[in-house]
Amino acid sequence: MPRHPTPEQPPSEIDPDRLALVAATLFHRSHEAILITDQANRILDVNPAFSRITGYSREEVLGLNPAILSSGRHSGDYYRSMWTSIEKTDHWRGEIWNRRKNGEEYIELLSISRVHLEEPGQYYHVAAFSDITALKNHAKELDRAANYDDLTGLPNRQLLEDRLRSARIHADRQRRTLSVCYLDLDGFKSINDRYGHPVGDQALRTLSERLTRALRSGDTVARIGGDEFALLLQGDDNHEAVYQRILATVGEPVELGDESVTLTASLGITRYPDDSADAEGLIRHADQAMYSAKEKGRNQYHFFDPGLDEHRRRRRNQLMDIARALENEEFELFFQPQIRLTDCQLLGFETLIRWNHPEHGLVSPGQFLPLVENSHLEVPLGQWVLKEAIHQMNVWKAAGEDLAVSINISAAHLMDRSFADYLESYLHSHPEVHPGQITLEVLESTALEDTKRASNVLARCRTLGLQVALDDFGTGFSSLTYLRSLPVDSIKIDQSFVRNMLDDASDRAIVESVIFLAQRFSYPVLAEGVETMEQAQSLRHMGCDCAQGYGIARPMPAKEVLEWASQWRNRVQAGSSGKLDQLISAAQR
């Protein structure tokens, strides 16, 4: 066995002939295209990967200028900037559009280095590039799925919020105003019920086109969901006339088959900077104003009044109730099982918070967590969940059950400076709990403004032994960015896509795409919201690894977990292993 050199014994130099052989092998076997040019930029040599990517053989390009690949997309300034960088630094790296021999354009990631020879003033250029067209196209598809509504092609809430943030900054600089409008169609459910969803969808597409034409190019129409739209109007124009025009546009007859129907809408409006809320707050305030418009009757609009915001007062009071509940230990964790679809084995449980309200009984998280978001209680409540979940794991372990748990972590909690320290401290105080049994679920639908910092925090959590899952994948802000920048171990598909995937081709396509993408990244996938045997079987056939949902079990209090786990395992061992339909049927009885 050859020994490694010691610090006192430096490695011997590689034989020049052997080094040349290594370089030649690398040149010929590299997956990246490589070409070498002289000082006059004439091609001296290319490797096989160059021919594979460009379609040109080595013999065809020797002596030619690499400009034969030019697509014509880039300006002269672009190339002058490239050569200026090479002259100054001996290097340039960037993305560039080129053209293959067959005329097809492609985008490549190109790196050019100037290699100087021993003779003064003598040098070669070595360029290496790879074809990233497919990667770019896939990124565009993900971006469109993340930022645009499938049905209408309009921007979705995510893109609207992005544009609204930019519009606020622009309005501040220009000392201009802008309006945010929330539009809800009056009684649109009756259209779907009477004519069917395909006809209703066509009506929504028609309305989307009309609203877009009715506004200026700098304005935005977005579909928020269902029959709800949001509009961003910029400038100091007569917005009152615009609001009337919007309602009139909605009121134009829509042809539905052989019939013509007239729609109406309720419009809620808030204006910046009179309403100084952030992007999310402006949309929320416009939504609140829309409900006030509905109370007036059909085809009405209403302005949000920041000075008389009843909602804010109500929210403040509700937050005080939640703070008291946290102090009085009124919260409780429920647990929902997660299983492996291939053999039905129990993998663990997701922790879900509930509120045992002294007057209203058990309150679901949907009724109070939205109030806690972006409030001073978000971090304390998140810490309570972490502490209680780890404590419960310890209780189960003492009872002979080593159960894994998944814990939802909000963006604000994750980005809190004490998060990792608090977690590490609490894990050290419970050495009997294995960190590998804990998964932190980071909501993809929540904006992590500082992804670098979030990545560092999650990386530290992983060094502690914890797992990280990207939750509600596909519903939010930057799916591809998060996959590339955050250290995650698994992906969870949001139940909103799973719920209707058997009936909605778009939802099914999203589920299939997420599974495919996860497989390419080698991430296990868990689908939420599995309610039926058909959904579970379909997910298994798509290659989904794991599932949870009412079809397996509803969330349960901690005291019921051990009995449920025992019963589930008994059913699996009794012969239902692999027979997912039998287990789900039994779970639903």
Contact 338, 403 (CB under 8 A): no
Class of residue 119 by CB neighbours under 10 A (exposed 0-12, middle 13-18, buried 19+): exposed
Residues sharing a CB contact under 8 Å with residue 285, sequence separation 6 or more, in sequence order: 180, 268, 270, 275, 277, 304, 306, 309
- State the Cα torsion 423-331-526-460 to the nearest 10°: -10
Strands (E), 414-454: 438-443
**The CA-based dihedral angle spanning residues 87, 92, 96, 98, taken in that order and rounded to the nearest 10 degrees:** 60
**CA angle (184, 187, 190) in 5-degree steps:** 135
Distance CA 427, CA 421 (A): 10
| Residues 459, 429 contacting (CB under 8 angstroms) | no
Query: Residue 228 corresponds to which amino acid?
Result: E
Separation of alpha carbons 526 and 340, rounded Å: 9
Mutual angle of helices 419-428 and 451-463, in 10-degree steps = 10
Please list the residues that pair with 267 across neighbouring strands. Answer: 183, 301
Instruction: Determine contact, residues 155/163, Cβ cutoff 8 Å.
Output: yes
CA angle, residues 458, 460, 461, in degrees to nearest 5? 60
Are the C-beta atoms of 255 and 204 separated by less than 8 Å?
no
Distances, alpha carbon 239 to alpha carbons 177, 191, 229, 243, in Å: 10, 30, 17, 6
**CA 182 to each of CA 73, 239, 294, 382, 548: distance values in angstroms, whole numbers, following the listed order:** 41, 14, 12, 32, 34
Dist CA 471 CA 526 (whole Å): 9
Question: What number of other Cβ atoms are within 10 A of residue 143's Cβ?
Answer: 15
Q: Residue 100's pLDDT is what?
A: 94
What pLDDT tens digit does each residue of the chain (589 aa) get? Answer: 444 555 554 555 667 777 777 777 888 888 899 999 999 999 999 999 999 999 999 999 999 999 999 999 999 899 999 999 999 999 999 999 999 999 999 999 999 999 998 888 889 999 999 998 888 888 777 777 788 998 999 999 999 999 999 999 999 998 899 999 999 998 888 888 888 888 899 999 999 999 999 998 889 999 998 899 999 998 766 678 889 999 999 999 998 777 888 899 999 999 999 888 999 999 999 998 998 888 788 899 999 987 666 666 677 788 999 999 999 999 999 999 999 999 999 999 999 999 999 999 999 898 999 889 888 899 999 999 999 999 999 999 999 999 999 999 988 899 888 899 999 999 999 999 999 999 999 875 555 667 788 889 999 999 999 999 988 776 654 566 677 778 889 999 988 899 999 999 989 999 999 899 889 888 999 999 999 889 999 999 999 999 999 999 999 999 999 999 999 999 888 865 446 666 666 655 5
Task: Give first-to-last CA distance, the chain, whole Å.
Answer: 65
pLDDT at 449: 63
Determine the 3-state secondary structure of 487 from DSSP: coil
Q: What is the dihedral of CA 540, 546, 551, 552, to 10 degrees?
A: 130
Query: How many whole angstroms separate alpha carbon 407 and alpha carbon 334?
Result: 11
Whole-model pTM above 0.75? no
Amino acid at 459: A
Query: What is the DSSP secondary structure assignment for residue 554, as one 8-state letter?
Result: -
| Amino acid present at 31 | H
DSSP for 197-250, please give it: HHHHHHHHHHHHHHHHHHS-TTSEEEEEETTEEEEEEESSS-HHHHHHHHHHHH
In sign, the C-alpha dihedral spanning 183, 189, 194, 196 is: positive
Q: Domains (ranges, CATH) in the chain? A: 16-131 (3.30.450.20), 149-308 (3.30.70.270), 335-354+377-588 (3.20.20.450)
CB atoms within 10 A of CB 93: 13
C-alpha triplet 440, 443, 448: angle, nearest 5°: 105
Which residue, among 460, 539, 464, has the nearest Cα to 498 in the 3D structure?
539
Environment class of residue 118 by beta-carbon count within 10 Å: exposed (0-12), middle (13-18) or buried (19+)?
A: exposed
3-state helix, strand, coil in the chain (%, to 5): 45, 25, 30
Q: According to the model, what pLDDT value does residue 1 have?
A: 44
pLDDT at 447: 52
Instruction: Give the pLDDT of residue 312.
Output: 61
